[in-house]
């Protein structure tokens, strides 16, 4: 299982990458593998506000529906529209083409886990 070292993580299996005050958010490969084939994603609207720790969308697989918890607070500036027709990208490239949305940070993210900490967490769940 891959856990890129340059990203921040949440205990609820989201990842976040911050560049120039913009956070890109997705779910980890561990989450994608646990869910199975992802068939539908509901993303927040561009211009809406997301709050760290609060639900900001949904991911549905063949057998489950899961909330996406935003790891950051801020205004959504872009969503990955390609997921509408190809939600399976989250399974094939969770850290790249499967990103979910980008938000302009209202505040510096806090409480994120390092790759090492996140890996330990998932080893406990396996």
Q: Is 53 in the site for another protein (CB under 8 A)?
A: no
Beta bridge partner(s), residue 67: 58
Q: Is 14 in the site for another protein (CB under 8 A)?
A: yes
> Which ranges in the chain belong to alpha helices (H)?
29-35, 82-85, 89-92, 115-125
Which lies closer to another protein via its Cβ, residue 42 or residue 49?
42
Binding residue (CB under 8 A) for another protein from 6, 47, 62, 108: 62
Q: Is 65 in the site for another protein (CB under 8 A)?
A: yes
Determine the Cα–Cα distance for residues 67 and 50; give it in Å rounded to an integer: 13
Binding residue (CB under 8 A) for another protein from 54, 84, 96, 117: 84
Q: Are 35 and 66 in contact (CB under 8 A)?
A: yes
């Amino acid at each position: 299982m891959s856990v890129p070292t340059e990203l921040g993580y949440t205990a609820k299996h989201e990842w976040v990458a911050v560049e120039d005050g913009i956070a890109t958010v997705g779910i980890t490969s561990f989450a994608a593998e646990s869910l199975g084939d992802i068939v539908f994603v509901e993303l927040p609207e561009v211009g809406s506000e997301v709050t760290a720790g609060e639900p900001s969308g949904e991911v549905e697989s063949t057998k489950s529906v899961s909330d996406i918890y935003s790891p950051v607070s801020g205004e959504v500036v872009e969503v990955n529209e390609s997921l509408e027709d190809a939600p399976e990208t989250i399974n094939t490239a969770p850290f790249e083409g499967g990103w979910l949305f980008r938000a302009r940070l209202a505040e510096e993210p806090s409480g994120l886990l390092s790759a090492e900490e996140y890996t330990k967490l998932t080893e406990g769940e396996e």
